[in-house]
Amino acid sequence: MSKVIAGAGAALVLWMLGAAVAVGPDERTVRITDKGFTPDRIEVKVGQKVTWENASLKDHTVTAVGKAPGRPEPGQEEKGKPLFDSGPIKPGAKWEHTFTREGTYEYACRMDKTMTGTLVVKPAKE
């Protein structure tokens, strides 16, 4: 389950200025800059939402790299398609995705392949 959310909003503006932003217990946030994803490795539990916020002045993507751990996410069974792909995320916009299967997911920006990240999805009850 994923969606693109447009607009900076007050929370994103405060966050970009270094102010703390409250994030719910079932949500994690990754900041996208021209230098990469921050943090570039996170751990979540099955069912937790991950939000990528574009704090750069250019479009970026969050696109799965390599094979999916186990079975693909629902709706991503088509061969040749990445397991998940945000499409272009405009500056100030964000994209979110909730992972429903455990495993280690590698991802990169299609517009700058030097930007990479790792997401480890653990069982919901550990």
Q: Report yes or no on whether pTM surpasses 0.75.
A: no
Q: Which residue has the higher pLDDT, 72 or 89?
A: 89
- Residue 55: is its pLDDT beyond 50? yes
> Regarding predicted confidence, which is higher, 126 or 59?
59
Number of C-beta neighbours around residue 20 at 10 A: 8
Instruction: Choose among 13, 22, 24: nearest CA to 92.
Output: 13
Question: Does residue 80 register a pLDDT over 60?
Answer: yes
Residue partners of 123: CB distance under 8 A and separation at least 6:
45, 46, 102
Q: What is the pLDDT of residues 97-115, one digit of tens each?
A: 999 989 999 999 999 989 9
Sign of CA pseudo-dihedral 102, 108, 64, 52: positive
- Domains of the chain with CATH codes: 2-122 (2.60.40.420)
